[in-house]
Structure 1
Amino acid sequence: MGSLWRSIAHVYFIIAFISSSALAEDPYKFFTWNITYGTIWPLGVPQQGILINGQFPGPDIDSTTNDNIIINVFNNLNQKFLLSWSGIQQRRNSWQDGVFGTNCPIPPGKNFTYKFQVKDQIGTYFYFPSMYYHKAAGGFGGLKVVSRPLIPVPFPAPDGDVTLLIGDWYKRNHTILRRTLDLGKSLGAPDAVLINGRGPNGYALTVEQGKTYRLRISNVGLSSSLNFRIEGHKMKLVEVEGSHTVQNIYDSLDIHVGQSYSVLVTADQPPQDYYLVASTRFTSPILTGYGVFRYSNSQKAVSGSIPGGPTIQVDWSLNQARSIRWNLTASAARPNPQGSYHYGNITITRTLKLASSSAIINGKQRYAMNGVSFQRPDTPLKLADYYNIGGVFAVGGIPDSPDGRSAYLQTAVIDGDYRAFIEIVFQNYEDTIQSWHLDGYSFFVAGMDGGEWTQSSRASYNLFDAVSRCTTQVYPKSWTAVLLTLDNAGMWNLRSETWERQYLGQQTYLRVKSPVKSLRDEYDIPLNALLCDAARGRSRTPQP
Structure 2
Amino acid sequence: MATSDPRFSLPLAWWWVLLLAAAAKLAGADDPYRYFDWTVTYGPINPLGTTQQGILINGQFPGPRIDCVTNDNLIVNVVNNLDEPFLITWNGIKQRKNSWQDGVAGTNCPIPPGANYTYKFQAKDQIGTFTYFPSVALHRAAGGFGALNVYQRPAIPVPYPAPDGDFTLLVGDWYLAGHDQLRQTLDSGAPLPFPDALLVNGMPSDIFVGDQGRTYLFRVSNVGMKTSINFRIQGHSLRLAEVEGTHPVQNVYDSLDVHVGQSVAFLVTLDQPPMDYAVVASTRFNPDSTSALTSIGMLHYSSATSRAPGPLPEGPETADWSMNQARSFRWNLTASAARPNPQGSFHYGTIQTSRTLVFASSPPVVVAGQNRYAVNGISFVVPDTPLKLVDTYNIANVIGWDSVPPRPDGGAPQLGTPVVRLNLHEFVEVVFQNTESEMQSWHLDGYDFWAVGYGNGQWTENERPNYNLVDAQARHTVQVYPNGWSAILVSLDNQGMWNLRSANWDRQYLGQQLYLRVWTPEQSFSNEYSIPTNAILCGKAAEYAH
Q: What does residue range 253-268 of structure 1 map to in structure 2 within 5 Å?
A: 253-268=256-271
Q: What does residue range 510-525 of structure 1 map to in structure 2 within 5 Å?
A: 510-525=516-531
Residue 214 of structure 1 corresponds to which residue in structure 2? 217
Q: CA deviation at 1:302?
A: 6.4
**Rg bigger for which structure?**
2
Amino acid at match of 1:193: L
Amino acid at match of 1:393: I
CA deviations over 1:265-297 (Å, ceiling 9, x no partner): 111111121111111111022111121111111
Residue 477 of structure 1 corresponds to which residue in structure 2? 483
Is this contact kept in 2: 1:195–1:290, CA < 8 A? no
Q: What does residue range 220-235 of structure 1 map to in structure 2 within 5 Å?
A: 220-235=223-238
Amino acid at match of 1:282: F
Aligned residues: 516
Is 2:126 aligned against 1:129? no
Q: CA deviation at 1:539?
A: 4.7
**Over 3 Å off, 4+ runs:** 301-306
Q: CA deviation at 1:194?
A: 0.5
CA deviations over 1:376-432 (Å, ceiling 9, x no partner): 111111011101111111111100000011211111111111111000000111111
Residue 350 of structure 2 corresponds to which residue in structure 1? 345
Residue 317 of structure 1 corresponds to which residue in structure 2? 322
Is 2:245 aligned against 1:239? no
Name which of structure 1's ranges 246-255 and 412-421 shifts more when overlaid on structure 2.
412-421
CA deviations over 1:457-510 (Å, ceiling 9, x no partner): 100000000011100001011111000111111000000011000000000010
Question: SS at the partner of 2:348?
Answer: helix
Residue 203 of structure 1 corresponds to which residue in structure 2? 206
Q: Residue 360 and residue 340 in structure 1: after superposition, are their counterparts in 2 closer, same or farther (change >3 A)?
A: farther
| Overall identity of the aligned pairs, in % | 60
Is this contact kept in 2: 1:418–1:514, CA < 8 A? yes
Q: CA deviation at 1:209?
A: 1.4
Distance 1:133 1:513 in 2: 31
Residue 289 of structure 1 corresponds to which residue in structure 2? 295
Question: SS at the partner of 1:369?
Answer: coil
Q: What does residue range 11-410 of structure 1 map to in structure 2 within 5 Å?
A: 24-199=29-204, 202-283=205-286, 284=288, 285-301=291-307, 305-311=311-317, 313-337=318-342, 341-358=346-363, 359-410=365-416
Q: What 5-or-longer segments of structure 2 have no aligned partner?
A: 1-26
Amino acid at match of 1:335: P
Is this contact kept in 2: 1:168–1:222, CA < 8 A? yes
CA deviations over 1:225-281 (Å, ceiling 9, x no partner): 100011111010011011100000001000000000010011111112111111111
Is this contact kept in 1: 2:358–2:408, CA < 8 A? yes
Q: Residue 340 and residue 529 in structure 1: after superposition, are their counterparts in 2 closer, same or farther (change >3 A)?
A: farther
Q: Residue 339 and residue 154 in structure 1: after superposition, are their counterparts in 2 closer, same or farther (change >3 A)?
A: closer
Question: Which of the residues 403, 414, 420 maps onto 2:420?
Answer: 414
CA deviations over 1:26-84 (Å, ceiling 9, x no partner): 10000001111111111111111111111111111101011000001111111111000
Is 2:537 aligned against 1:531? yes
Q: CA deviation at 1:333?
A: 3.8
Q: CA deviation at 1:514?
A: 1.7
Is this contact kept in 2: 1:185–1:364, CA < 8 A? no
CA deviations over 1:76-128 (Å, ceiling 9, x no partner): 11111100000000011000000010000111111110000001111111000
Is this contact kept in 1: 2:242–2:265, CA < 8 A? yes
Q: CA deviation at 1:332?
A: 1.4
Is this contact kept in 1: 2:537–2:545, CA < 8 A? no
Q: CA deviation at 1:364?
A: 2.4
Residue 11 of structure 2 corresponds to which residue in structure 1? none
Residue 15 of structure 2 corresponds to which residue in structure 1? none
Residue 16 of structure 1 corresponds to which residue in structure 2? none
Q: CA deviation at 1:132?
A: 1.4
Q: CA deviation at 1:23?
A: 7.0
Question: SS at the partner of 1:341?
Answer: coil
Q: CA deviation at 1:217?
A: 0.5
Distance 2:56 2:212 in 1: 34
Distance 2:175 2:247 in 1: 34
Q: CA deviation at 1:301?
A: 3.7
Q: CA deviation at 1:339?
A: 8.2
Question: Which of the residues 498, 513, 527 maps onto 1:492?
Answer: 498
Is this contact kept in 2: 1:368–1:407, CA < 8 A? yes
Question: SS at the partner of 2:346?
Answer: helix
Question: SS at the partner of 1:44?
Answer: coil
Please, what TM-score do these two structures have when normalized by structure 2?
0.93
Question: SS at the partner of 1:510?
Answer: strand
CA deviations over 1:327-349 (Å, ceiling 9, x no partner): 01111142211685200000011
Amino acid at match of 1:501: R
Is this contact kept in 1: 2:456–2:484, CA < 8 A? yes
Distance 1:413 1:419 in 2: 18
Is 2:469 aligned against 1:463? yes
Q: What 5-or-longer segments of structure 1 have no aligned partner?
A: 1-21
Distance 1:393 1:363 in 2: 22
CA deviations over 1:201-220 (Å, ceiling 9, x no partner): x4111112111111111000
Amino acid at match of 2:182: L
Question: SS at the partner of 2:279?
Answer: strand
User: Superposition RMSD on alpha carbons, in Å?
Assistant: 1.3
